Amino acid sequence: MAGYDGLLNDHLRIKTEAYYQSLFNIPVSADQHGGFALINRYDGLTTRRLTN
């Protein structure tokens, strides 16, 4: 993570943040038209057919 917070004047502030994640071997929906990935679930349980 990297960030910048700058005060340009008394009424104007600029703030930016950048994030990077390297994710691999995450089970996703076997249905090509579905937008489901196991990482989006908090409890980790699903009845969908998944593939790596």
Does residue 12 fall inside a structural domain?
A: no
Does residue 2 fall inside a structural domain?
A: no
Domain that holds residue 49: 23-52
Say if residues 37 and 30 touch (Cβ distance below 8 Å): no
Does residue 47 fall inside a structural domain?
A: yes
pLDDT tens digit string along 1-52? 899 999 999 999 999 999 998 878 776 666 666 666 666 566 656 666 666 6
Q: How many domains does the chain have?
A: 1
Predicted model pTM: 0.37
Does residue 7 fall inside a structural domain?
A: no
Rounded Cα–Cα distance for residues 5 and 8 (Å): 10
Token duo for residue 45: 């349980």
**3-class SS at 17?**
strand
